[in-house]
Amino acid sequence: MRVGMVCPYTWDVPGGVMAHVRDLAEALIADGHHVSVIAPASDDAPLPFYVTSAGRAVPVPYNGSVARLAFGFLSAGRVRKWLREGRFDVLHVHEPAVPSVGLLACWAARGPIVATFHASYQRSRAVSVTAPVLHTALEKITGRIAVSDAARKTLVEHMGGDAVLIPNGVTVSRYAQAEPLPGWGPDGGVIGFLGRMDEPRKGLPVLLEAFTLLAPERPGLRLLVAGPGDADEVLSKVPAALRDRVGVLGMVSEEDKARAYHSVDVFCAPNTHGESFGIVLAEAMAAGATVLASDIPAFRKVLGEGQAGALFTTGDAASLAREAAALLDAPERRAKLSDEARVAVRRYDWSTVARDVVRVYETVAATGSGGVEEERRGAVL
C-alpha cells in the first residue's frame, strides 16, 4: 500500500506527535508498505529518506505549549506537489485541526483520507472561532483514529463525529536493553525526568520542588534531567547547596534517551495537563523503569490505575516527594512495578499498533473510489 503521511509539527524538534509519525512510518515500511511523510522542516535539516520538507516552521502558541508549524503559500505549494507525485492509496493526516501542513493537505486532497487525533484540550474561544474553517477540511476525512479516550472525547466535543481508538505506539525493543549513562545509576537514589524543561505543563517545577524537599534528608539522592530547555534556568530553581546533585543533559539522542531510562531508580512524569496518552511513560515502561506519574486520566490509564507504576496527586510536590521516597525505600516494590510495566507495554508495541492502523487504511480504501488525488476545485488557502 502507498501511504502519504502528514506530520503537522516540525521534524527538527523532538515531540510526541513527530515521534509517533516517525515510528509508525518506519513500522509500515518494515512491513513492506511504501510510505512518504511530509512535515515542516528547515531546508538544510537532515531528514530520513521518506520525509519531504514542507518548509521552515514558525513557533505558534498552541494547547498550552509552543508548537512549530508550517502554514502558508510555500507550504501549500509543496503539499500539492507531494500529493501529485505520491500517487497514494491513502492519505494519513495527523492532527488535521492544527493550523499546519495537515490542514493544507486536507484542503488540497480528495479520496481516502484517514486522520489521527492526538490532542486533549478544553473547549476554547479559538476552537469555536475556527470551527467553520476547519469543517471544510475535516468533512473530507473518511476514517478517524484517536490515540486515547481523552483525544476521542476532545474530537467528539469539539468537532463532532467519532473515532476508532488505537493507542500510541512504542518500539519496545529500542528501549528494552541499554547501558546506564556514565556516572549514573541505578544505585538506589536516582530520580529521572525527560521532557521539555521550559514547558510548564510538563511539570518539571513540581519535581524540582519535590527534590528540594527530599534531598536534605537523603545525601545520596540525585536528579537526572533531559530534554530541550535552558539548563541554567533549571538549576536556578534548586538551592545552591543541592545543584551539584542535579544533572541536566539537555536534548539527547534516541540512544542516550534509552540509556537515561536505564540510569534511574524512579522515572518521574509530573505533567500537569494536556496529555492524551504519555509516550514517555510507554518508553520508560519498555525500559523496565519504575514509573512515578501524576494522576491525570491519560497516565492513570496507561499505568493501569497504578498497577504498572505509582501515581501521585497532580501538581502536588509534597505528594510527589512522599511517593518517591516510598519507592526509593522499597526495592522489591520497584522490581514488581518494573515487571508489570514490561508486560503492560507490550500492547503498545508498534508491531501491534501498526497492524491496527493498516486495518483502518484497508477499510477506508475499500469504500473509496480509487486513490488520493489533488483537489483542483477551489483554493487551498
Question: Would you kindly state where each structural domain of the chain is located, as residue ranges?
Answer: 2-169+349-374, 173-346
Q: What is the dihedral of CA 271, 274, 276, 280, to 10 degrees?
A: -30
pLDDT, residue 158, reads 73
Residues of the chain with pLDDT under 50: 124-126, 129, 379-381
Report domain 2-169+349-374's class.
Answer: alpha beta
pLDDT at position 63 is 53
Candidates 321, 104, 91, 109; CA nearest to 211 is 321
Residue 213, classified by CB atoms within 10 Å of its CB into exposed (0-12), middle (13-18) or buried (19+), is middle
H helix runs in the chain, sequence order: 16-30, 73-86, 101-108, 125-138, 149-159, 172-176, 204-214, 231-236, 254-261, 279-286, 297-302, 317-328, 331-344, 350-367
Query: pLDDT per residue over 146-177, tens digit each?
Result: 998 888 888 888 777 789 999 999 999 999 99
Whether 2-169+349-374 and 173-346 share one fold: the answer is yes
Q: Residue 379: its pLDDT value, please? A: 46
Determine the Cα angle at 93 with ends 303 and 124, to 5°.
70
Superfamily of domain 173-346, CATH level 4: Glycogen Phosphorylase B; (3.40.50.2000)
To the nearest whole percent, how much of the chain has pLDDT over 70? 91
- Give the pLDDT score at 92: 98
At residue 11, φ and ψ (nearest 5 deg) are -80, -15
Q: Distance between CA atoms of 306 and 181, rounded to whole angstroms?
A: 28
Say what the pLDDT of residue 121 is: 63
* 181, HSE (Cβ side, Cα atoms, 13 Å): 22
pTM value is: 0.79
**For position 129, what pLDDT does the model report?**
47
The pLDDT score that the predictor gives to residue 161 is 79
| Beta-sheet strands, E only, within 163-281 | 164-165, 190-194, 222-226, 246-248, 266-269
Cβ neighbours of 183 (radius 10 Å): 9
pLDDT of residue 123: 53
- Alpha-carbon distance of 310 to 296, in angstroms, equals 12
